[in-house]
Amino acid sequence: MVARGGIARRAPRALAVGMAACLSLAACGGDGRPKRPEGGHARTGGAPASPSPSPSPEPASCPGGRLIEAVEIPAVHSDPVLIPEAVIGGQRIPAVTIPGVDIPAQRVPAQCVEHKPAPGGCLGAVAVPGTSIPSVTIPAVRIPGVKAPGIDVPPVEQAAVWSEAVSTPAVGSPEVCQSKPSKEGEYVSSVYRSGVYRSGLYRSSAYRSSLYRPRACNDKGECLPSVTVPGVTAPGVSVPGVSVPGVSLKSYVAGPGQVIKGDDSIAYNIEADVLFDFGKAEIKPAAAAELGEIAKSLGREVPDGATVQVDGHTDGKGDTASNQALSLRRAQAIVDWLATEGGIARSRLRATGYGETKPAYPNTKPDGSDDPGGRAKNRRVVISAAR
């Protein structure tokens, strides 16, 4: 019966007895271990294991996120044991090789903590993927018995042992946004994106104890030597927990031009109608003065080299794909202006188009009729940076 709750699990005795057939490599895997479905435990029958899905590409870096380092699990090896040939009472006892153990190295692959982009005045969603430590099996082993004149030595055997795979699920926290001020002097409350923690994992060690067959002699002084098969251990494996701390955007009072200034960030919310003609992505000549003031403010407020994010937004009129394309063209137009006229290195600038997906205000009134004022506020560009 399989024992539960211990460090490892021991296979049924039937499996160990079946190992007698494995004394020749023809009945075993090429390394002398019992054949078993790929990725599973040692088996004595039943349906074959489902093929493993193709692994996802492993990241070497995580632009915009954080790399979770891979965990290497070393290979496990033990040498085969040779029982030499013997002659007892004229009977030849052939040599036997007890297979060694060769378990390949395993790996818990590297992953990325994903910090999803978000418009100014918002804290982007964060996601930590799930992970797992694969199972490991140490195969059964058997020293055969011998019956010869004056000697009757029973077989000695140890069942297979394994440590099961362990997993932890993905965790995350959604995007949160501050309310958008409609006028200068309006108070905007703080928002908080909660922290995320993916718990650590531990796969317990697996140990197959040593095996010993004692020396045996008959009354003629003919002897079989003692045989020892050393114990084998697959060490325990740990994967550390992953923690993403909570963050907040501080409350503030909206300043001129809706400057959103927090302790660690600053954003400028500009109605698109100030910058562009309706449905267009060419910056109006009259908008240059306001963009110039924003470029000067970024120079004062933001560290040299900090990324400046430009987010374009539209109202809900028109089809979704066209709105998405327009918002991106407008954001890119602002990036081009800041790079060529505003004195900000292009390498620091990032453009994102959100289309109609993140409205700051309702596009319609409570009765369902069109709200031109709300739509005008949703047509906007937000320029933001960390301070």
Residue 183: which pLDDT band, with cuts at 50, 70 and 90?
A: low
Question: Given a cut of 90, is residue 305 above it in pLDDT?
Answer: no
DSSP-assigned beta bridge partners for residue 127: 114, 172
Residue 188: which pLDDT band, with cuts at 50, 70 and 90?
A: confident
- Using DSSP's 3-state secondary structure scheme, residue 52 falls into coil
pLDDT of residue 211: 96
Which residue did the predictor score with more confidence, 301 or 67? Answer: 67
Question: Given a cut of 80, is residue 140 above it in pLDDT?
Answer: yes
CA separation for the pair 93, 86 (Å, rounded): 5
Q: How many whole angstroms from its chain centre is CA 273?
A: 43
* Tens of pLDDT, residues 27-40: 333 333 333 433 33
Phi/psi of residue 337, nearest 5 degrees: -65, -45
In sequence order, what DSSP letters do the residues of 32-45 get, joined into one string?
A: SSPP--TTS---SS
E strand map for 149-215: 151-153, 156-158, 161-163, 166-168, 171-173, 176-177, 187-188, 191-193, 196-198, 201-203, 206-208, 211-213
Domains in the chain: boundaries: 9-41+57-176+197-244, 256-386
Q: What is the mean pLDDT of residues 218-236?
A: 95
- Using the 8-state DSSP alphabet, how is residue 276 labeled? B
- Residue 57: CB partners within 8 Å, gap ≥ 6? none
Q: Are β-strands 136-138 and 161-163 bridged in parallel, bridged antiparallel, or unpaired?
A: antiparallel
Residue 184: which pLDDT band, with cuts at 50, 70 and 90?
A: low
Residues 105, 73: contact at Cβ < 8 Å? yes
Which has the minimum average pLDDT: 4-13, 78-87, 148-157? 4-13
Nearest-10 Cα torsion for 101, 103, 105, 111: -150
CA separation for the pair 38, 104 (Å, rounded): 12
Which has the minimum average pLDDT: 13-22, 156-165, 247-256, 260-269? 13-22
Residues 381, 335: contact at Cβ < 8 Å? no
Q: What is the mean pLDDT of residues 112-117?
A: 91
Which residue did the predictor score with more confidence, 273 or 335? Answer: 335
Question: Given a cut of 50, is residue 44 above it in pLDDT?
Answer: no
| 117-to-33, 43, 134, 310, 354 alpha-carbon distances in Å | 50, 47, 33, 11, 10
- Using DSSP's 3-state secondary structure scheme, residue 272 falls into helix
Question: Given a cut of 80, is residue 180 above it in pLDDT?
Answer: no
Classify domain 256-386 at the CATH superfamily level. OmpA-like domain (3.30.1330.60)
Q: What is the mean pLDDT of residues 264-274?
A: 82
